[in-house]
Amino acid sequence: MPVHRHADPSYDVVIVGARAAGAATAHLLARSGLRVLLVDRGRYGTDTLSTHALMRGGVLQLSRWGLLEKIIAAGTPPVRRATFRYADAVVPVIIKPSYGVDALYAPRRTVLDPILVDAAAASGADVRFGIAVADVDRDRRGAVTGVVGRTRYGQAFRARARIVVGADGIRSTIAERAGAPFERIGTSAAAVTYGYWSGLQTDGYEWNFRPDAASGVIPTNDGQACVFASASPRRIGRGGLAPLTQIVAESSADLAGRLAAAVPPRALRTFTGRPGHMRRSWGPGWALVGDAGYFKDPLGAHGLTDALRDAELLARGIIAVVDGADERDALACFQMTRDALSTALFDVMDVIAGHRWTDEQIPSLLLQLNTAMADEVQALAALPPLPPPSDQRRSPADRGGHSKCVWSGTGAVASRQG
Ligand SMILES: Cc1cc2nc3c(=O)[nH]c(=O)nc-3n(C[C@H](O)[C@H](O)[C@H](O)COP(=O)(O)OP(=O)(O)OC[C@H]3O[C@@H](n4cnc5c(N)ncnc54)[C@H](O)[C@@H]3O)c2cc1C
């Protein structure tokens, strides 16, 4: 059936992908008064292939947006301690309160993603699941002007927007159709196999590192603990209990003993590995956020934190565009900021994921990782507060968008209201 373009719905922003990056971006834009459509080909509230440890930057973002209380109300346990084991060392780290965050959290994706989607909808975003986007529309100059796809029931779907955001994950259709080149590709890929144990004795995050044998524990909802093993794809193979048990035993005899006393999962999930990437993440009428634009090995447990960070950086840029700022300046500022906050982490994770290190080297790599995270938290804490949620479309000066990229010596981005 032909689709009549004049009947197509029109928005300020169409966002493809309704999980961490897309739903958070939709929430921030909608609550600032923009007309937002958020679509996903999947179903609301489903799980996805991902463990879910949030680092301080991610928790800080949820707290700044007023959503952390919903994560806590869902029964997500606070994590107040992390234990690192490598070679013969056991290094406990107390999670000290800072920037208003006094604990870390690791909500299941069936908890985190719906909270973000509900927040987007409550802020006024039009949210539609069961829509698979296949392509972008363009004007005569080549600028992206909307998306085309199909509903779950096979009907044609088309929507127009001032800006189309690809938040559609590692294999982003929007990135591919918009022609977003890879600017960096990692040199290594580790595989991960994980599952949920009940009754496991643990007092926080646990990370164990031995060459080609990393493992860990992430306490989560419903009294369960996510236990994972990460190693070269050759070692993990198709994953499951056998390689996980072996890798845990090699990386921490202590965890292996506690695991043996706990109730194992019926099934495990396995990620077979993929090198990290950084894509050019904007162009005329389009932008990328989350894994679509920037992905790194899961062992760093940082993708969700980055998705929540970059959702706000992009939202501020888009708000500035809608308010009349130059699109290239505003979106370039978004990517410049993202890259400045990501490059150190990307580089060190590429080395860690490649298991190209010895017992002697891993402490220094973990220190680099920690420094990169601390810089990120500092940058997020320096952002001016977002305006309070409102159903009303506000004046540009009230929306918190920036008209100029402003940098401090530490690489922290600041924003100036437009
Ligand atoms: C094994 C593993 C473990 C991980 N562990 C952690 C961890 O502990 N901590 C952490 O912070 N990060 C972790 N990560 C990374 C984290 O999962 C990602 O960074 C995060 O999911 C990125 O969120 P996103 O919203 O960008 O994309 P996604 O979560 O991938 O969501 C993309 C959405 O887009 C939709 N979509 C895709 N294509 C289309 C289309 N054409 N049309 C419509 N909809 C579409 C999909 O249905 C999906 O819902 C892990 C990743 C893996 C693989």
Strand 144-151 vs strand 156-166: parallel, antiparallel, or unpaired? antiparallel
Give me ligand 1 centre to Cα 46, in Å: 12
For residue 53 and ligand 1, the question of a CB distance below 6 A is answered with yes
pLDDT at 418: 34
- Whether the Cβ atoms of residue 200 and residue 217 lie closer than 8 Å to each other: yes
Ligand 1 pocket mutation pick from 60, 79, 221, 291 by most atoms within 8 angstroms of CB: 291
Query: In terms of Cα–Cα distance, which of 412, 407, 375, 396 is closest to 316?
Result: 396
- Which atom in ligand 1 lies closest to the alpha carbon of residue 48? 29
Per-residue pLDDT tens digits for 169-180: 999 999 999 999
- Which atom in ligand 1 lies closest to the alpha carbon of residue 167? 26
How many angstroms separate the CA atoms of 12 and 306, rounded? 24
* Interaxial angle between packed helices 327-353 and 303-322, expressed in degrees from 0 to 180 and rounded to the nearest 10: 170
How many angstroms separate the CA atoms of 229 and 179, rounded? 35
Per-residue pLDDT tens digits for 250-285: 999 999 999 999 999 999 999 999 999 999 999 999
Query: In terms of Cα–Cα distance, which of 204, 235, 271, 206 is closest to 50?
Result: 271
Give me ligand 1 centre to Cα 51, in Å: 10
Residue type, 145: T
Helices (H) and strands (E) in the chain, counts: 11, 20
For residue 241 and ligand 1, the question of a CB distance below 6 A is answered with no
Q: What is the DSSP string of 368-402?
A: HHHHHHHHHHHHHHTSPPPPPP-SSPPPGGGS--E
Q: What is the pTM of this model?
A: 0.94
Average pLDDT score over the chain: 92
- Which atom in ligand 1 lies closest to the alpha carbon of residue 133? 42
Ligand 1 pocket mutation pick from 109, 131, 170, 304 by most atoms within 8 angstroms of CB: 304
Give me ligand 1 centre to Cα 186, in Å: 18
Q: Which residues of the chain have pLDDT under 70?
A: 1-7, 386-418
Ligand 1 pocket mutation pick from 19, 60, 295 by most atoms within 8 angstroms of CB: 19
For residue 277 and ligand 1, the question of a CB distance below 6 A is answered with no
For residue 22 and ligand 1, the question of a CB distance below 6 A is answered with yes
Ligand 1 pocket mutation pick from 15, 27, 37, 51 by most atoms within 8 angstroms of CB: 51
pLDDT at 385: 78
Give me ligand 1 centre to Cα 75, in Å: 22
pLDDT at 387: 59
Give me ligand 1 centre to Cα 313, in Å: 18
